[in-house]
Amino acid sequence: MAESWLDKSHRYAKEEFEIPLKEVGFKKNGNSLIRKINGNEQLFRLQWTPFGSRDHNFNYFWFAGDDSAKKYITLGPYFCGEDIVQISSFINSGNDDFAEIILDPIGLYRLYKNHLSKLLKSISIDPYCLSIKKYSNQTNNYKDNIQSLYWSHRHRWSSEESFREILKKDLKSFLIFFDLALKLNPSEKKFVSIFKKELKKNSLTFYG
Protein backbone atom coordinates (compact mmCIF):
# COMPACT_ATOMS: atom_id res chain seq x y z
CA MET A 1 0.00 0.00 0.00
CA ALA A 2 1.34 3.42 -1.01
CA GLU A 3 2.29 5.81 1.77
CA SER A 4 -0.37 8.49 2.21
CA TRP A 5 0.43 12.21 2.18
CA LEU A 6 -0.61 12.33 5.83
CA ASP A 7 1.85 9.59 6.74
CA LYS A 8 4.57 11.25 4.67
CA SER A 9 4.10 14.57 6.45
CA HIS A 10 4.42 12.87 9.85
CA ARG A 11 7.52 10.98 8.73
CA TYR A 12 9.21 14.11 7.40
CA ALA A 13 8.41 16.01 10.60
CA LYS A 14 9.81 13.23 12.75
CA GLU A 15 13.00 12.77 10.74
CA GLU A 16 13.78 16.45 10.12
CA PHE A 17 12.44 18.03 13.32
CA GLU A 18 11.89 15.56 16.15
CA ILE A 19 15.03 13.44 15.82
CA PRO A 20 17.46 16.40 15.38
CA LEU A 21 15.83 18.26 18.28
CA LYS A 22 16.25 15.25 20.56
CA GLU A 23 19.94 15.22 19.64
CA VAL A 24 20.32 18.73 21.08
CA GLY A 25 18.51 18.04 24.33
CA PHE A 26 14.79 18.28 23.58
CA LYS A 27 12.60 15.58 25.10
CA LYS A 28 9.23 14.31 23.94
CA ASN A 29 6.29 15.31 26.12
CA GLY A 30 2.96 14.38 24.54
CA ASN A 31 2.75 16.25 21.23
CA SER A 32 5.54 18.63 22.21
CA LEU A 33 9.31 18.63 22.46
CA ILE A 34 10.72 20.48 25.47
CA ARG A 35 14.23 21.52 26.47
CA LYS A 36 15.14 23.10 29.81
CA ILE A 37 18.36 25.10 30.10
CA ASN A 38 19.28 27.15 33.18
CA GLY A 39 15.66 27.20 34.29
CA ASN A 40 14.42 28.33 30.88
CA GLU A 41 11.91 26.08 29.10
CA GLN A 42 11.97 25.92 25.32
CA LEU A 43 9.02 24.41 23.52
CA PHE A 44 8.58 22.98 20.03
CA ARG A 45 5.10 21.88 19.02
CA LEU A 46 3.59 21.13 15.61
CA GLN A 47 -0.07 20.99 14.68
CA TRP A 48 -1.69 19.13 11.79
CA THR A 49 -4.79 20.19 9.89
CA PRO A 50 -7.83 18.71 11.66
CA PHE A 51 -9.42 17.44 8.44
CA GLY A 52 -6.40 15.44 7.32
CA SER A 53 -6.90 11.79 6.46
CA ARG A 54 -5.03 9.09 4.58
CA ASP A 55 -7.52 9.40 1.72
CA HIS A 56 -6.78 13.06 0.97
CA ASN A 57 -4.41 14.04 -1.83
CA PHE A 58 -2.66 16.59 0.38
CA ASN A 59 -1.94 17.40 4.01
CA TYR A 60 -0.22 20.15 5.96
CA PHE A 61 1.11 21.08 9.37
CA TRP A 62 2.58 24.14 11.05
CA PHE A 63 4.53 25.33 14.07
CA ALA A 64 2.13 25.97 16.97
CA GLY A 65 4.54 26.90 19.78
CA ASP A 66 6.73 28.26 21.51
CA ASP A 67 4.83 31.56 21.75
CA SER A 68 7.96 33.73 22.00
CA ALA A 69 9.47 32.11 18.89
CA LYS A 70 6.24 32.58 16.91
CA LYS A 71 6.66 36.35 17.21
CA TYR A 72 9.90 36.27 15.26
CA ILE A 73 9.97 33.17 13.10
CA THR A 74 7.44 31.49 10.86
CA LEU A 75 7.59 27.71 10.56
CA GLY A 76 5.04 26.46 8.07
CA PRO A 77 2.49 25.84 6.90
CA TYR A 78 4.18 22.82 5.33
CA PHE A 79 2.08 21.40 2.53
CA CYS A 80 2.56 17.83 1.37
CA GLY A 81 0.55 16.67 -1.65
CA GLU A 82 0.08 16.09 -5.35
CA ASP A 83 1.29 18.58 -7.96
CA ILE A 84 -2.25 19.17 -9.22
CA VAL A 85 -3.33 20.24 -5.73
CA GLN A 86 -0.55 22.80 -5.54
CA ILE A 87 -1.33 24.10 -9.04
CA SER A 88 -5.04 24.39 -8.25
CA SER A 89 -4.27 26.15 -4.99
CA PHE A 90 -2.19 28.73 -6.82
CA ILE A 91 -4.84 29.27 -9.49
CA ASN A 92 -7.54 29.75 -6.85
CA SER A 93 -5.42 32.32 -5.03
CA GLY A 94 -6.22 34.90 -7.70
CA ASN A 95 -2.59 35.93 -8.12
CA ASP A 96 -1.66 34.51 -11.53
CA ASP A 97 0.57 37.55 -12.14
CA PHE A 98 3.09 35.92 -9.81
CA ALA A 99 2.92 32.46 -11.38
CA GLU A 100 6.24 32.44 -13.23
CA ILE A 101 8.17 34.05 -10.36
CA ILE A 102 6.83 31.59 -7.78
CA LEU A 103 6.27 28.36 -9.70
CA ASP A 104 9.15 28.27 -12.19
CA PRO A 105 11.89 27.78 -9.53
CA ILE A 106 10.09 24.69 -8.17
CA GLY A 107 9.44 23.23 -11.64
CA LEU A 108 5.67 23.75 -11.77
CA TYR A 109 5.21 26.70 -14.14
CA ARG A 110 4.72 24.60 -17.28
CA LEU A 111 2.20 22.35 -15.54
CA TYR A 112 0.42 25.46 -14.26
CA LYS A 113 0.11 26.90 -17.78
CA ASN A 114 -1.14 23.61 -19.20
CA HIS A 115 -3.74 23.16 -16.47
CA LEU A 116 -4.90 26.78 -16.70
CA SER A 117 -5.26 26.45 -20.48
CA LYS A 118 -7.43 23.35 -20.12
CA LEU A 119 -9.47 25.07 -17.43
CA LEU A 120 -10.18 28.04 -19.66
CA LYS A 121 -11.32 25.77 -22.49
CA SER A 122 -13.61 23.73 -20.27
CA ILE A 123 -15.65 26.53 -18.68
CA SER A 124 -17.68 29.39 -20.10
CA ILE A 125 -16.53 32.00 -17.56
CA ASP A 126 -13.09 33.01 -16.43
CA PRO A 127 -11.75 31.24 -13.35
CA TYR A 128 -11.42 33.24 -10.17
CA CYS A 129 -7.72 33.88 -10.73
CA LEU A 130 -8.33 35.83 -13.94
CA SER A 131 -11.30 37.74 -12.55
CA ILE A 132 -8.87 39.79 -10.46
CA LYS A 133 -5.92 39.72 -12.87
CA LYS A 134 -3.38 42.49 -12.34
CA TYR A 135 -4.45 42.57 -8.70
CA SER A 136 -0.82 43.08 -7.72
CA ASN A 137 -0.61 46.31 -9.71
CA GLN A 138 -3.66 47.72 -7.97
CA THR A 139 -2.25 47.50 -4.47
CA ASN A 140 0.66 49.05 -2.62
CA ASN A 141 1.74 45.86 -0.86
CA TYR A 142 3.32 44.03 -3.80
CA LYS A 143 6.14 42.65 -1.64
CA ASP A 144 3.71 41.40 1.00
CA ASN A 145 1.64 39.61 -1.64
CA ILE A 146 4.56 37.86 -3.25
CA GLN A 147 6.09 36.92 0.13
CA SER A 148 2.78 35.40 1.26
CA LEU A 149 2.52 33.39 -1.96
CA TYR A 150 6.15 32.37 -1.81
CA TRP A 151 5.77 31.09 1.72
CA SER A 152 3.12 28.55 0.73
CA HIS A 153 4.89 27.60 -2.51
CA ARG A 154 8.56 27.82 -1.59
CA HIS A 155 8.86 24.07 -2.04
CA ARG A 156 7.24 21.57 -4.36
CA TRP A 157 4.61 19.83 -2.27
CA SER A 158 5.10 16.48 -4.01
CA SER A 159 8.90 16.46 -3.76
CA GLU A 160 10.44 14.76 -0.75
CA GLU A 161 13.82 16.35 -1.47
CA SER A 162 12.33 19.84 -1.74
CA PHE A 163 10.22 19.31 1.39
CA ARG A 164 13.13 18.11 3.48
CA GLU A 165 15.35 20.98 2.35
CA ILE A 166 12.83 23.52 3.67
CA LEU A 167 12.43 21.70 6.99
CA LYS A 168 16.20 21.59 7.51
CA LYS A 169 16.54 25.34 6.88
CA ASP A 170 13.64 26.21 9.15
CA LEU A 171 15.01 24.05 11.96
CA LYS A 172 18.29 25.97 11.76
CA SER A 173 16.38 29.25 12.13
CA PHE A 174 14.50 27.85 15.11
CA LEU A 175 17.66 26.69 16.90
CA ILE A 176 19.44 29.98 16.23
CA PHE A 177 16.49 31.78 17.80
CA PHE A 178 16.54 29.66 20.96
CA ASP A 179 20.32 29.80 21.33
CA LEU A 180 20.14 33.60 21.13
CA ALA A 181 17.14 33.71 23.51
CA LEU A 182 19.32 32.07 26.19
CA LYS A 183 21.65 35.09 26.05
CA LEU A 184 19.26 37.92 25.30
CA ASN A 185 15.59 38.52 26.17
CA PRO A 186 13.52 38.33 22.95
CA SER A 187 11.47 41.32 24.14
CA GLU A 188 14.51 43.61 23.96
CA LYS A 189 14.61 45.88 20.92
CA LYS A 190 18.08 44.80 19.81
CA PHE A 191 17.06 41.13 19.75
CA VAL A 192 15.59 41.28 16.23
CA SER A 193 18.59 43.00 14.67
CA ILE A 194 21.01 40.51 16.23
CA PHE A 195 18.76 37.61 15.21
CA LYS A 196 18.69 38.86 11.61
CA LYS A 197 22.49 39.07 11.55
CA GLU A 198 22.80 35.51 12.88
CA LEU A 199 20.43 34.24 10.22
CA LYS A 200 22.30 36.07 7.49
CA LYS A 201 25.60 34.55 8.65
CA ASN A 202 24.01 31.13 8.16
CA SER A 203 22.53 32.01 4.73
CA LEU A 204 19.01 32.05 6.18
CA THR A 205 16.25 34.62 5.73
CA PHE A 206 14.23 36.45 8.36
CA TYR A 207 10.46 36.05 7.80
CA GLY A 208 9.15 37.23 11.13
pLDDT, position 99 = 87
Q: Is residue 169 part of a domain?
A: yes
Task: Note down pLDDT in tens along the chain; length 208 residues.
Answer: 689 999 999 999 999 999 999 999 999 988 899 999 888 889 999 999 877 677 788 999 999 888 888 888 888 899 999 999 999 888 877 777 788 889 999 999 999 999 888 877 776 555 555 544 444 455 556 666 677 778 889 999 999 999 999 999 999 999 999 999 888 888 888 898 999 999 999 998 876 5
Residues 131 and 172 in one domain: no
Nearest Cα neighbor of 21 from 45, 1, 47 is 45
Is 70 found in the same domain as 100? no
21 plus 67 within the same structural domain: yes
Of 135, 152, 169, the position where a domain reaches its end is 152
Q: How far is CA 201 from CA 20, 180, 182, 191, in A?
A: 21, 14, 19, 15
Domain span at residue 21 reads: 5-80+158-201
In this structure, is residue 75 part of a structural domain?
A: yes
Residues 9 and 70 in one domain: yes
The pLDDT assigned to 142 comes to 63
pLDDT at 146: 73
pTM of the model: 0.84
Residues 97 and 135 in one domain: yes
12 falls within a domain: yes
Q: Distance between CA atoms of 29 and 24, rounded to whole angstroms? A: 15
Do residue 23 and residue 76 come from a single domain? Answer: yes
Residues 10 and 76 in one domain: yes
Contact call for residues 187 and 169 (beta carbons, < 8 A): no
**Could you tell me if residue 24 is inside a domain?**
yes
Q: Which of 152, 169, 191 is the last residue of a domain?
A: 152
**What pLDDT is stored for residue 182 in this prediction?**
87
